[in-house]
Structure 1
């Protein structure tokens, strides 16, 4: 949301959802760390005194969500033609407000998303590291989100999703691309904070099934998302997803 005009984004989202016949699931967030020191400035955005990109993007997210819900926000040119009422952003796509996912990289952000009535999208990175395995910490993030959501009284949101990098190693090509990956979490520094990244899962279908069922966060979440190597082309990614589907079905997940 650091680079987005929330009202223009609301129009674009509503149009896209209408074209998709109400099937769009939209993830938003503050945005990941970037190499450009003045990226937002080049897009015409600067921080005021006492502001941070965290606070600004949360305000933009609130405006965006009001707009997609059809909340009237604009003054009409001719008030008498509209009964003196404010105008909403158009089009309005019914139900889209319940399909907004906030990308959270920490516990506090996940709790905030729950209080705001958004769904939780948790990736392969957490800006939290106390030595526990990534999937255990991510399960705690999910539970903190749900506690916050359940106490909020909201009727939108309440769903959780986690992302994984997982690759079936079946062919020689699979082995060349992913068979030699080191397993285990990665720990480092991002924006001055210790961060922990989850592992890349690679192996036979049986090995992936075992890894999936041992992953506490995957078992806890409502939805699983899989990061795909787009640079390897559509055909290869179809091969990856077809085999991941076999794994998921074999362990009884839908």
Structure 2
């Protein structure tokens, strides 16, 4: 494990007792959390994207704010639903954020996860899908997006334009030359992971896998990572791709931690997503030395170079910073993470 960061689902709404976390609260807390994490060194802040739900829906303004107020932290998404995206507009926004951050954007995209609405992407104007889950639209949008960030000319220049014009085709602007190497595809199946490897993009292995044959989640996921890397090599792509997995990991160092996370489920879960029998990863909650032993036995955590810690959105910035700091001090170094001295908060 070379890197770790937080994966926020960005939930907001009633908290009970007359309290409420508003959309504005959620956004501002995300910025504050990222700024606090920036002091910890080589960590990242990643955000889930969901439409028609009380979660982060348009991540680029948030990522731009974080990019402008941090120096080291990797920022990204896990993942943007490509069924809902105008690929050229997304390419422009992604390039702008990448330039603001000096190349710290790790943009995760995919077909998307189950929604709270029926074919919501059609309400955004993206119709004509022949797939019940819109996978064909997502792949089509992704292909155009990749061509755009690679700098391919996509619109015919107007030779009569008073604003530059010329002949040939014009690429989108702004253009960030290194962005293509920092695009990730979120995969929930081995087949999709292999496709991502052939495409030459990095892999974000999902928080669940639409496979359930009794094999432990971490083994299924490690096999997925291996298949992805094999497909990458067979396609002849240069260098080594990056891979990430996400886990719920809570170092218990205080009575408050024990209150919230003691007795958490420590078994894989089995359920149905999009009509498919799926496997969900377990929660890790224990004293730091126990966590180290447990995570070192997690085949996928030890195989991936990046670990995303799913954090509870409703417990506030200070609580989550303490979770991250405890992980950075007591757990991450034993898993392979190296960083400079932690800065005091």
For Structure 1 versus Structure 2, the TM-score category normalised by the shorter chain is over 0.9
Q: Point out the structure with the larger helix share.
A: 1
Alignment match, 2:301 = 218
How many residues are paired up? Answer: 254
Equivalent pair of 1:114/1:157 in contact (CA under 8 Å): no
Gaps of at least 5 residues in structure 1 are none
The reply to whether residue 68 of structure 1 matches residue 164 of structure 2 is: no
- More off after superposition, 123-132 vs 10-19: 123-132
Provide structure 2 residue ranges, at least 5 long, that are not aligned to the other structure: 1-81, 339-345
Displacement after TM superposition at 1:155 (Å): 3.5
Task: Give the distance between the partners of 2:297 and 2:304, measured in 1 at CA.
Answer: 13
2:331 matches 1:250: no
- Larger RCO (alpha carbons 8 Å, 6+ apart): 2
Residues 22 and 44 (structure 1 numbering): CA distance in 2 closer, same or farther, change over 3 Å? same
- State the 1:124 CA deviation: 1.9
State whether structure 2 residue 111 is matched by structure 1 residue 27.
no
Report SS of the residue matched to 2:196: helix
The ranges of structure 1 where at least 4 consecutive aligned residues each deviate by more than 3 angstroms after the TM superposition are 48-52, 79-83, 250-254
Partner of 1:134: 217
Matched, 1:43 2:127: no
Residue among 160, 163, 176 paired with 1:93 = 176
Partner of residue 260, structure 2: 177
The one of 189, 198, 214 aligned to 1:106:
189
Change (3 A) 1:205 1:188: same
Mapped to 2, the partners of 1:94 and 1:5 lie a distance apart of 20
Q: Does structure 2 retain, via aligned residues, the 8 Å contact 1:105–1:126? A: yes
Report which of the two has the higher share of strand. 2
- The answer to whether the aligner puts 1:11 opposite 2:92 as a matched pair is yes
Query: Map of 1:162-173 to 2, 5 A cutoff?
Result: 162-173=245-256
Cα distance in structure 2, aligned partners of 1:6 and 1:252: 37
- How far does the alpha carbon of each residue in 1:107-157 deviate from its partner, in whole angstroms, 9 at most, with x for none? 000000000000000132111111110000000000000110101122477
- Secondary structure (helix, strand or coil) at the match of 2:170 reads coil
SS at match of 1:244: helix
Indicate conservation of the 8 Å contact 2:130/2:136, yes or no: no
Distance in 2 (alpha carbons) for counterparts of 1:134 and 1:79? 59
Question: Which region of structure 1 is more displaced relative to structure 2, 71-80 or 132-141?
Answer: 71-80
TM-score by length of 2: 0.70
